[in-house]
Structure 1
Amino acid sequence: MRAVAAVVALVLLAACSSEPEKPVAEPTTQTQTPTPTFIYPGKDWAVAEQGDFARVDRELAAARTTCFAVVKDGRLLHSTGEGSTRPAYSITKSVTAILVGIAADEGKLALDDKASKYIPEWRRTAARNVTIRDLLSNTSGRHWDYNTDYSQMIRRAPDKTAFSIGLGQDSRPGTKWDYNNSAVQTLEAVLEKATGQDVAAYAKKRLLDPIGMRDTTWAHDNAGNTTTYSGIDSSCRDLARIGYLMMRSGAWKGEQLVSDSFVAEATNESSSQLNAAYGLLWWVNKPGRIVTIDRAAGFPSDKPPYKGQLAPKAPEDTFWALGYGSEYVMVIPSEGLVAVRMGSRPNTPEQLSFSAFADLVLKALRIS
């Protein structure tokens, strides 16, 4: 027995004196980054510090910017010029698109419905085959010329919906791309007929109030029609909520306010190869034939159509709501980023082009 015990003791001693085996670490790479934690704003945005915006602020001030806000992963990184609201101009169009998406989700309309289903004046005219999708993609073929759109409809027509409905049909739907304010205004008649509500009231109940846009109002023309081509007054922080809703694929605090499928169609693909940079009343960063609207933004002339992208250095999933004078709600889902700029028209279209604005913000965050 003593001999056996001695052998056991020797075995234990040898085991204790040998070097323990080292654990094997999980392989890692320098490119791995933690998954961001997205949050939603309450009454105001949560604040975080990231980026160097000194240069951005100088360049935006030189471009007559009124307010500027940057949100990343649901946190406000930077904000200037808050405290008042101003016209958001054609950013309104992109909000109108969201309302069409909400109404479609509710079964009140379908994007491929003929608009004449809701606009009886078109049923026996050349406009009878224009669809809601055609109106959203600016390929409706409805009459357009600069004087009619900007001087007569925008500045002089007291009933902008009736004026727009009463215009003629220039071409077959889907054969021409025009940035057509009057065509977008006819969506007021479509939405009011489909929902049975004033469009601004429908927006407040289904969109603006649910995402906490307390500083935003929506104008009516002299005949009482909500102006769907323009007319929203807002602030940069409020408009950042629109961008954040779209970045989160239409979801807000656990509720799907507008379907992710509509958001994807509106913001993540070209609605027509006539202008690869346009979705459904949102501008997109897809490559192809690009048509911009410098003249409609108040500059002397338009750039000729070209092959390329709106912002070649920005991620392809970037999209924008654009207002007169280079006002932007820019969204980059792959970066969790929303940036909003409001203000007067810059000195040149290049000073705050889609590309220039995207480059400024991305460099401030050291993303580009």
Structure 2
Amino acid sequence: MTIEHAVAEADARIRREPELAHTEHLVVEHGGRAVAAYAYGRRAVDEPGDIFSVTKSVLSTLVGCAVSDGRLELDATVGELLAPMVPEGARRTTVRHLLTMTGGTDPSGDWDIDAVMRLSAGWTRTLLTAPRLAPPGTRFRYDNGASHVLAACLARVLDEDLEEYAGRRLFGPLGIARAHWPRDPAGLPYGFGHLRLSALDLVALGRLWSTGGIAADGRRLFDAAYAAEATRPHTAGGPPESAGYGYLWWVTEMAGHTAFFAGGYAGQHVVVVPDLGLVTVTTGAEAALRPGRRPALCVIPGIVAAASAHA
């Protein structure tokens, strides 16, 4: 089966199966060639929308840029970067721990990101007081708050606003012109979610990672060594995607090929299969979610298998 036939079958499933009815987009690029770009609702493939936790993988990309720029070290501690607001229990957590979600803190209750977002001030300071459930580096636990703390660490070492840095070092080189990044009461862009990008913007992000950090114009945006470390499983991971976990990227296998992906609520997924030069994007509409739904990620393995058969 050709990749075109596999994509056509995936498209038919999305249109036919009620469990996939919330899907907004399916975009496929193979070997640098656009194979398909389907929009199932009113939002066009170039119109920005909420990418939810795919924001975390964008943040990982910016960390890679900052490391390449000599601004940030992965073994720098939160205590060093965010003093004096850091309580004793959080001081030894490193940037690497935050990237791998092995910081060991409790992300529930008063430290759940939804609870923190109801506060009128002090989001980062509150997240730093979360109780510790395990020593740093010993246990994966999906933690939205850790990503916001990571954003605070990154913002602290830059000589410019984090969103401005993103525009200059990442969005601009990728041709992303309509990004919108919400901010907390202190003016810090959310590290955990709700960045608004289009499906085509997400393809550009996936393409960048497929090449190990090299943009379409040949510029290297972050080091190949960082790309390799970010997309290998540092832990076995766990919910919500139940896959291995790298540096704010999930790591898995599809059709016998190593793949990594960014994932977000309501069916947002960017899948990269580097050895096939394959990037797929599926998005979903939160307002269209219904009981029994499942993300359109389930149609991607068939596309990977077809790409592999003709590699």
TM-score by length of 1: 0.73
Counterpart check, 1:339 vs 2:303:
no
Gaps of 5+ in 2: 40-44
Counterpart check, 1:70 vs 2:28:
yes
What does the per-residue CA deviation read over 1:175-222, in whole Å, with 9 as the maximum and x for residues that have no partner? 221110011100121111111322111111110101111232222123
Contact 1:111 1:132 in 2 (8 A): yes
User: In structure 1, what is the Cα distance between the partners aligned to 2:13 and 2:291?
Assistant: 13
Contact 2:276 2:307 in 1 (8 A): no
Which of 177, 186, 201 pairs up with 1:238?
A: 201
What does the per-residue CA deviation read over 1:18-54, in whole Å, with 9 as the maximum and x for residues that have no partner? xxxxxxxxxxxxxxxxxxxxxxxxxxxxxxx944533
Counterpart check, 1:362 vs 2:304:
yes
Structure 1 residues 274, 245: closer, same or farther in 2, change over 3 A? closer
SS at match of 2:271: strand
Please state how far the C-alpha of 1:110 moved relative to its aligned partner: 0.7
Please state how far the C-alpha of 1:170 moved relative to its aligned partner: 2.9
Gaps of 5+ in 1: 1-48, 286-310
CA root-mean-square deviation: 2.5
Indicate the residue corresponding to 1:322 in structure 2: 263
Contact 1:218 1:233 in 2 (8 A): yes
Contact 1:322 1:328 in 2 (8 A): yes
Indicate the residue corresponding to 1:18 in structure 2: none
User: In structure 2, what is the Cα distance between the partners aligned to 1:93 and 1:235?
Assistant: 16
Which has the larger Rg? 1
Instruction: Write the mapping of 1:71-110 to structure 2, written as runs, cut at 5 A.
Output: 71-81=29-39, 82-110=45-73
Contact 1:315 1:334 in 2 (8 A): no
What does the per-residue CA deviation read over 1:278-314, in whole Å, with 9 as the maximum and x for residues that have no partner? 00100001xxxxxxxxxxxxxxxxxxxxxxxxx5x43
Aligned identity (percent) is: 28
Structure 1 residues 157, 97: closer, same or farther in 2, change over 3 A? farther
User: In structure 2, what is the Cα distance between the partners aligned to 1:206 and 1:349?
Assistant: 40
Instruction: Write the mapping of 1:1-368 to structure 2, written as runs, cut at 5 A.
Output: 50-61=4-15, 62=18, 63=20, 64-81=22-39, 82-121=45-84, 125-145=88-108, 148-156=111-119, 158-252=121-215, 253-267=217-231, 269-273=232-236, 277-285=244-252, 311=253, 313-344=254-285, 351-352=294-295, 356-362=298-304, 365=307, 367=309
User: In structure 1, what is the Cα distance between the partners aligned to 2:230 and 2:116?
Assistant: 26
- Greater length-normalized contact order (CA 8 Å, ≥ 6 residues apart): 2
SS at match of 2:235: coil
Give the partner amino acid of 2:9: R
> Number of paired residues?
292
Structure 1 or 2: larger helix share? 2
Structure 1 residues 333, 101: closer, same or farther in 2, change over 3 A? same
